[in-house]
C-alpha cells in the first residue's frame, strides 16, 4: 500500500484489509527497496 496517510489508524486498517506492506509518500528509494525485498520481489543487497 502506498499512501500519504501515515497515521497508525490508516496503517492498521490497511493491514486488516489485506495489505502486505505499507509505504508513506513521498516514496524514498530505500523504503521501497526494503518493502519489495520483504515481499520477495527484489534481492536484498548488502551495503558496501
Q: Are 44 and 37 in contact (CB under 8 A)?
A: yes
In the chain, where are the structural domains located? 2-38
Per-residue pLDDT, 17: 93
Task: Pinpoint the alpha helices (H) of 1-48.
Answer: 8-16, 29-38
* Alpha-carbon torsion angle 15, 34, 38, 16, nearest 10: 0
With CA atoms as reference, report the closest residue to 22 among 45, 1, 47, 40.
1
Q: What is the pLDDT of residues 1-48, one digit of tens each?
A: 778 888 888 889 989 999 888 888 898 999 888 888 888 887 666 666
Strand, coil or helix: 9: helix
State pTM to two decimals.
0.61
With CA atoms as reference, report the closest residue to 41 among 16, 25, 23, 17.
23
Amino acid at each position: 500500500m502506498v499512501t500519504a496517510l501515515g497515521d497508525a489508524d490508516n496503517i492498521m486498517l490497511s493491514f486488516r484489509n489485506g495489505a502486505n506492506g505499507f509505504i508513506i509518500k513521498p516514496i524514498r528509494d530505500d523504503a521501497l527497496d526494503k518493502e519489495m525485498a520483504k515481499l520477495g520481489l527484489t534481492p536484498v543487497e548488502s551495503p558496501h
